Amino acid sequence: MITKQEKAIEIYKRLIRDYPEAKCSLDYDKPFQLLVATQLSAQCTDVRVNIVTKPLFKKYKSIKAFANADLNELEQDIKSTGFYHNKAKNIIGTAIMILERYNGEVPPKLEELVTLPGVGRKTANVVLGDIFHVPSVIVDTHTKRLSNRIGLSKNQDPTKIEFDIMRVVPKDMWTIFSHLLVFHGRNICYARNPQCSLCVINDLCKFYRTN
């Protein structure tokens, strides 16, 4: 009988062979840009966000530029990512708070990041994992779906799923494991019609074995 920890490591080994390039799909050059891109990615695809941030980061070149942005103008700049009223308000609020409270630098701790407007654990973990290289489990729609299907978590709540994954995946693999689940969700384990017969981890998957 394979343990959950052994299963997680086997899943990692197989998925890393299929997706050696797995990483965050959002385009950015600076830490604050990843923070903004992740805020924009709520209820939106990374592809759409990358289309929007290309001109956005040319227009607003610094945290200060976002802090001084005109709210209505920023709303129009990010409109196609959806929920643009809240997103624009949160981005400006985040930029102001980083300038006032964190000396103009994106803070490197989870408990600090989640104090920023509109920044939850998912956004904070993206920044921690990809900017500061702090092992972090990122729970998005793909991670959630796959961890439920595979049997790594029975929970629906993202924070509970995050802790379930942390319990079974070795800490140094948390960030890459999250990216691998996202890549597998995009390529094989679709929300509708998962391609189970083509899936390299189907023998380890609870959904496949019980359907």
What is the b/e burial string over 180-192, where b = at least 16 CB atoms within 10 angstroms of the residue's CB?
bbbbbbeebbeee
For ligand SF4, the closer of residues 78 and 201 by Cβ is 201
Please give the Cα distance from 138 to 67 (Å, whole number): 27
Residue nearer to ligand SF4 on the CB measure, 150 or 168: 150
Ranges within 147-166 binding ligand SF4 (CB under 6 A): 149-150
Does 196 help bind ligand SF4 (rule: CB under 6 A)? yes
Q: What is the largest CA-CA distance in the chain?
A: 59
How many CB atoms neighbour CB 134 within 10 A? 16
In terms of phi and psi (left: phi > 0; alpha: psi -120 to 50; beta: otherwise), the region of 135 is beta
Q: Identify which of 35, 13, 17, 15 has the alpha carbon closest to the alpha carbon of residue 26.
A: 35
* Total of chain residues touching ligand SF4, rule CB under 6 A: 14
Of the residues 46, 122, 144, 164, which is catalytic? 122
Name the minimum Å distance from CB 94 to ligand SF4: 35
Our finding on whether 201 is near ligand SF4 (CB under 6 A) is yes
208 is a site residue for ligand SF4 (CB under 6 A) = yes
* Number of DSSP helices (H) and strands (E) in the chain, helices first: 12, 0
Could you tell me if 181 and 205 are in contact, meaning their C-beta atoms sit under 8 angstroms apart?
Answer: no
State how far the Cα of 44 lies from the Cα of 61, in Å rounded to an integer: 23
Q: Contact 8/171 with Cβ under 8 angstroms?
A: no
DSSP class of residue 131 equals T
- Comparing CB distances to ligand SF4, the nearer of 139 and 150 is 150
Q: Min. distance of Cβ 124 from ligand SF4 in angstroms?
A: 27
Does residue 188 belong to the site contacting ligand SF4 (CB under 6 A)? yes
CB of 95 to ligand SF4, least distance (A): 39
Q: Does 194 bind ligand SF4 (CB under 6 A)?
A: yes
Q: What does the per-residue mask of binding to ligand SF4 show for 105-144, with x meaning CB under 6 A?
A: ----------------------------------------
Q: How far is the CB of 165 from ligand SF4 (least distance, A)?
A: 14
Active site residue 23: no
Q: Does 18 bind ligand SF4 (CB under 6 A)?
A: no
Q: Tokens for 20?
A: 């050696």
Q: Is 140 one of the annotated active-site residues of the chain?
A: yes
Return residues touching ligand SF4 (CB under 6 A): 146, 149-150, 188-189, 194-196, 199, 201-202, 205, 207-208
